[in-house]
Amino acid sequence: MSHNPKVCFFDALTACEYIIEFTAGISFEQYLGDPKTRFAVERQFEILGEALNRIKKLSPELLNDVTDWQDIILFRNIVIHAYDRLNDGIVFDSAINDVPRLAEELKAILNILTEK
């Protein structure tokens, strides 16, 4: 993973897109019953949080238009360091309800960074 903010935004957006793809059209029960999907989604949340954490260190002002970016970084820490207490319901809910909006925010920021 790069230490260039633009590349980190791209990595974060890609992680969002994978989360959306992996959870599209499935119920929570299907999510729970498919460890490959659960683990893939959790991995993408790790990448998402790490990418935003790198941006925070490199150019924190670029995160001004990212809703709840601090919570996303904290969530990454929970996925990695408190994996045994991870709540699948929260992960799934965030994947379905929060990640699509976040992806749109990241796309808008990437468009601005690409124009520069």
- For 5-48, the pLDDT digits (tens) are 999 999 999 999 999 999 999 999 999 999 999 999 999 999 99
38 a catalytic residue: no
For residue 65, give both structure tokens. Answer: 């238009």
**CA angle, residues 105, 87, 34, in degrees to nearest 5:** 90
- What confidence score (pLDDT) does residue 1 get? 52
Q: Which of 38, 43, 54, 76 is catalytic?
A: 76
Identity (one letter) of the amino acid at 111? Answer: N
- What confidence score (pLDDT) does residue 61 get? 96
CB 42 within 8 A of CB 91: yes
**CA angle, residues 92, 84, 13, in degrees to nearest 5:** 40
Q: Which of 3, 43, 54, 81 is catalytic?
A: 81
List the chain domain ranges.
Answer: 5-113
43 a catalytic residue: no
Cα-Cα-Cα-Cα torsion 35, 99, 1, 81, nearest 10 degrees, comes to -60
CB 101 within 8 A of CB 65: no
